[in-house]
Amino acid sequence: MSVDFNLEELMIIESARHIRDGEMVFVGTGIPMVAAMFAQKTHAPNLCFVVETGPISPQVLPVPISVSDPKAMYRAAKLGTLREVLGCLLQRGMVDLGFLGGAQIDQFGNINSTVLGDYQHPKVRFPGSGGANDIASLAKRILVITPHEKRRFPEHCFYLTSPGYIDGPDGREKAGLKMTQPELTVVTDLTVMSIDKTKGKLQVVKLMPGITLEQVRENTGFKVGAASVVSTVELPTTEELNILRRDVDPEREYLGRGKD
């Protein structure tokens, strides 16, 4: 039976599949929050949902529009602070999975959310790190959600805001990071990529339905390899889409409208 869905919905559901029940998951505004909420309402009811502004384990109402929205604080186990979530939880190594995004992601999984062009005279200046560097440096697993465009995936980032594998398999260890080889996954509207730890570089492990490896390579600014077996992302079920649309984002704040 055919099920209508759009690419935002499939990216969210695929991202949520990387969350395991009982984990501590660190999220910010936007699609990462939607994915974590969806996981909590489906296969991971016991996850500990941590919002970067401080709420710890809230029972989130329909998706907040920002990390400061009171909906992200509903019945939280603790209304903490930035110090508590970034320091007491993240820096103690307690966060299992951290969600990230950025303007650029390079072949090593490094993220730029600071500038495009020369740092002193940039073409575009972005908000910068926030807690992203902390998450990338200290979470056990890193999950990036982003649209797939060639300009977003350069060979090297203009600026390294948040570390992936920096420059190779031992880049993080040389930089003195405690999490030397975390799992790092990137979910886009074309593919799912993960770090090959032996090379410290991203490789294609899954393709979105109807997408070819050639299309991914045409839309990536670096030479991206592929795993020995590349599978296709599983289609969402009617039940999953109903939960996502009815319970998580009924106002379609993030999902878009209609089928792509």
pLDDT digits (tens, 9 = 90+) for 192-221: 999 999 999 999 999 999 999 999 999 999
Which tokens is 83 given?
């110090």
> Pick the residue with more confidence: 108 or 4?
108
Residue from 216, 235, 170, 240 nearest 1 by CA: 235
Is residue 114's pLDDT more than 50? yes
> Pick the residue with more confidence: 196 or 31?
196
Is residue 226's pLDDT more than 50? yes
The mean pLDDT of 38-67, rounded to a whole number, is: 90
Fold of the domain built from segment(s) 1-95+235-249: Glutaconate Coenzyme A-transferase (3.40.1080)
Q: What is the pLDDT of residues 227-246, one digit of tens each?
A: 999 999 999 999 999 999 99
State the Cα–Cα distance between residues 42 and 234, nearest whole angstrom.
16
pTM, two decimals, is: 0.93
**Helices 7-16 + 31-41 axis angle, to 10:** 60
Lowest mean pLDDT among 31-45, 47-61, 244-258: 244-258
Would you please indicate which residues are annotated as catalytic (active-site) residues?
52
Task: List b or e across 58-82, with b for residues whose CB sees 16 or more CB atoms inside 10 angstroms.
Answer: bebeebbeebebeebbeebeeebee
pLDDT of residue 257: 53
CATH 3.40.1080.10 positions along the chain are 1-95+235-249, 100-130+143-158+166-233
pLDDT above 70 as % of the chain: 97
pLDDT of residue 62: 85
Helices (H), 83-170: 132-138
Is residue 223's pLDDT more than 70? yes
Selected from 1.20.120.160, 3.40.50.10420, 3.30.750.200, 3.40.1080.10, the CATH number assigned to the domain covering 100-130+143-158+166-233 reads 3.40.1080.10
